[in-house]
Copies of this chain bind each other. A is one copy, B any other.
Amino acid sequence: MKKFLKSLVEKNRGISELGNVANYIPGLEKSNKHALGLCIIKTNGTIYSIGDYDVKFTIQSVSKPITLMLAILDHGEEHVFSKVGMEPTGDAFNSIQKLETCKSHKPFNPMINAGAIATSALIKGADNQERFDRLLNFFRKISENETLEINNDVYLGEKRTGNKNRAMAYFMKGEGYIDGEAEDALEVYFKQCSIEVTAKDLTKIGLFLARGGVMSNGERVVSERIAKIAKTLMITCGMYDGSGEFALRVGIPSKSGVGGGIMSVVPGKMGIGVFSPALDEKGNPIAGEALLEDLSDELSLSIF
């Protein structure tokens, strides 16, 4: 099996040539374009780690379903979905226009930037420090990695250049979908995006979802329903405006980030983590997508 996985990684590594590493967030442009890492952990504990599986990168949008789970733990499903919708948008992840053109002016879903910022605004805490600490601890817990930290340079870069995210936050503040200060929501959001992980960390989180919200030691952290919500939104909206094609070609609930990460869940079977920093034009890891398509085809992993 390991040999087989290695051959898939080697087969797809060259595809990175067709993509580009993100450069609009200061720091990301330093990634090695040709890196490709894969980690798989089955629910029975078997683990496979190939290539650049232990290279650190910032989690970026892969953080979105995780923050969503804590927001639901904090406020319940009904309140969270009164602030953010459940529908795919058909637009780019950083698009602002639907906030204005749709009737409710509500962010469409928690997987695009607008909805993710509204979700980050829901994390409870006396102040921003406590809010982010609670969130970081949640990331550490479900990744079973107590050493997770943010990359401060990337955080400061996002904060400095994140004017479009800021625009969305103020728009939503104006429409009542962010209750506190817009800048507070943004600080939590920029920090969560800057958490450094490896493909193995993402695999652990995928495994947590594959088990329906349960850790390796058997501890239930979120309800099966909350885990299901995360997985569903990953299928319908997890790969930006390429989610439909990815569902069709791969069929595995997944969330990508412009840092190069993909966190994938085969319900009941396994978690998968990928590191592939060269992105396609929609912002998805280009070699990682191809690798997951091969994996899905060869091992019949599609949920459909």
Contacts and interface: CB of A to CB of B under 8 A. Distances in A.
B88 A91 contact: no
A101 interface: yes
Contact of A170 (B85, B95, B97, B170): B170
A243 interface: yes
A123 to B, nearest CB: 21
Nearest to A173: B163
A86 interface: yes
Contact of A304 (B169, B235, B302): B235
Tallying the copies of this chain within the complex gives 4
Given A90-B88, A97-B100, A244-B109, A171 B182 contact: no
A27 interface: no
A26 to B, nearest CB: 14
Contact of A236 (B100, B163, B231, B236): B236
Chain A interface category by residue count: 35 or more
Contacts of A98: 90
Contacts of A241: 87
A79 interface: no
Given A164-B171, A174-B163, A244 B233 contact: yes
A109 B236 CA distance: 13
18 contacts: A87-B88, A87-B244, A96-B171, A97-B97, A163-B173, A163-B174, A167-B168, A167-B171, A170-B170, A229-B248, A231-B304, A232-B247, A232-B248, A232-B251, A233-B248, A236-B236, A236-B243, A236-B247
Interface of A: 85-91, 95-102, 108-109, 161, 163-164, 166-171, 173-174, 182, 228-229, 231-233, 235-237, 241-245, 247-248, 251, 253, 267, 302-304
Given A96-B96, A167-B167, 13 more contacts: A85-B244, A85-B245, A88-B88, A96-B171, A97-B100, A161-B174, A166-B182, A167-B169, A167-B171, A170-B170, A233-B244, A235-B235, A303-B304
